[in-house]
Chain A
Amino acid sequence: AQKVTQAQTEISVVEKEDVTLDCVYETRDTTYYLFWYKQPPSGELVFLIRRNSFDEQNEISGRYSWNFQKSTSSFNFTITASQVVDSAVYFCALRHTGNQFYFGTGTSLTVIP
């Protein structure tokens, strides 16, 4: 069965602190795709990153970075120097070679000014 686990339900940090959001996935497929989405209070899910299973290179985009480790089935997301605007619910998702996307239950991040 395909499954995405985001064990951290809620996280609070003070502005300018770094924070890492964990994502652990399960799949029997060798080809699969991982995603991160941000859902601000307005409700719309905003695409952040897509990664395929053959590309384990970490990626950095501004204050955002992603650490993909197949050995531990993890795809963690780090925000450096957090800002109040980063406050949102963040979802990790998995798509295997079938049709469906599987979303985790989300991590609610609050950045305190």
Chain B
Amino acid sequence: EAGVAQSPRYKIIEKRQSVAFWCNPISGHATLYWYQQILGQGPKLLIQFQNNGVVDDSQLPKDRFSAERLKGVDSTLKIQPAKLEDSAVYLCASSLWPWKKQPSGGDTQYFGPGTRLTVL
């Protein structure tokens, strides 16, 4: 079974530029997550999708970050314009079911390799 795919793996941009990241979850996984992981810290949830609807985006800086999952499968995360403090690894994860319907392990998240963003 293929894992979570992300691209690109690395991206270097200058501040005020725009950048987009792509994620393809594990086949059949209804829930998709985007995390930001700053060096030396744990992942911080940015946004969670259930199918193509947003479940939680309370920690997404909406003035510059946006995300979509139009067909309930692939997702893109965009930053426009980027700031120096956006330098981080952006992780995508997916889980099998909406957790309310499948409590026995369906909430386990499987992560992609991440995209390392450097903003100069």
CB distance from A4 to the nearest CB of B (A): 8
Tell me, yes or no, whether A99 is within 8 Å of chain B by CB: yes
CB-nearest residue of chain A to B4: A44
How far, in angstroms, from A20 to B110 measured CA to CA in the complex?
Answer: 24
Q: How far is the CB of B100 from chain A (nearest CB, A)?
A: 9
Q: Is the CB of A45 within 8 A of B45?
A: no
Q: A45 to B88: give the CA distance in the assembly, Å.
A: 15
Find out whether the CB atom of A44 lies under 8 angstroms from the CB atom of B113. yes
- Among A37, A42, A95, A104, point to the contact of B107 (Cβ < 8 A): A95
Contacts of A46 in B (CB 8 A): 111
Q: Tell yes or no: A64 within 8 A of B by CB.
A: no
Given A43-B89, A44-B113, A50-B105: A99 touches B48 (CB 8 Å cut-off): yes
Q: What residues of chain A lie closer than 8 Å to B48, measured between beta carbons?
A: 99-100
Say whether B113 contacts A43, CB under 8 Å: yes
Residues of B with C-beta under 8 A to A105:
40-42
Does A91 sit at the interface, judged by CB under 8 A?
yes
> For the complex, would chain A's binding face be called helix, strand, loop or mixed by DSSP majority?
strand
- Tell whether, in the assembled complex, residue A43 and residue B109 are in contact, meaning their CB atoms are under 8 Å apart: no
A91 contacts B110, C-beta separation under 8 Å? no
- Give the residues in chain A near B111, CB-CB below 8 Å: 37, 44-47
- From known contacts A99-B55, A101-B45, A105-B42, infer whether A43 and B116 are also in contact, taking CB-CB under 8 Å: yes
Interface 0/1 of B92-120, CB less than 8 Å to A: 01000001000101011111111010000
A36–B111 Cα gap in the complex (Å)? 13
Partner of B114 from A33, A37, A44, A104 at Cβ < 8 Å: A44
- B residues neighboring A (CB under 8 Å): 33, 40-45, 48, 55-56, 89, 91, 93, 99, 103, 105, 107-114, 116
Extra 6 A-B pairs, beta carbons < 8 Å, given A44-B113, A47-B110, A95-B107 = A43-B116, A47-B108, A91-B43, A100-B56, A103-B44, A104-B42
